[in-house]
Amino acid sequence: MAGKIVHFEVPAGEADRASTFWGSLFGWNIGGSVMQDFDYRMFQVDDELGGAIMPSDKAGSGLIIYYDCPDIDASVAKVRELGGTAYDKQPVPTHGWFAACKDTEGNPFSLWQNDSNAA
């Protein structure tokens, strides 16, 4: 479904501390890093919604929400047409595509399209 929230990221200055906090608060099983050179700790909230603790020097700036879209290229174009900012899509190999965006007020969000062929 277009516009459905499918993923969110929690910026963290200290990933261990944030993982303990969120894991203890909601009972989420936050795993170790899933990327070689980046401490990106993923977890599942339910069958459809997932999240990640990610290192950031901008901790405290808020969560990054990912919205599902059936055609990421069309959605990126629409963000730009409406006066928002959208960076070109980037692959998450074997999972899909994402594009970091900002709305007309400067609020960050991301678009997501599932695609097991993304490379």
Q: Binning pLDDT at 50, 70 and 90, where does residue 6 land? A: very high
Decide which of 41 and 34 is more confident. 41
Q: What is the mean pLDDT of the chain?
A: 90
In the CATH scheme, what is the homologous superfamily, with its name and number, of domain 8-59?
Answer: 2,3-Dihydroxybiphenyl 1,2-Dioxygenase, domain 1 (3.10.180.10)
Q: Which residue has the tokens 């900002």?
A: 102
Q: How many beta carbons lie within 10 A of that of residue 85, not counting itself?
A: 13
Q: Structurally, what CATH architecture does the domain formed by 69-119 represent? A: Roll (3.10)
Q: What is the pLDDT of residue 2?
A: 82
Domain borders along the chain are 8-59, 69-119
Name the DSSP letter for residue 25.
H
Sole residue written with tokens 């678009």 = 111
Average pLDDT over every residue of 90-96: 93
Across the range 64-93, mean pLDDT stands at: 95
- Could you check whether 8-59 and 69-119 share the same CATH topology? yes
Q: What is the pLDDT of residue 110?
A: 95
- Tokens encoding 80: 């730009």
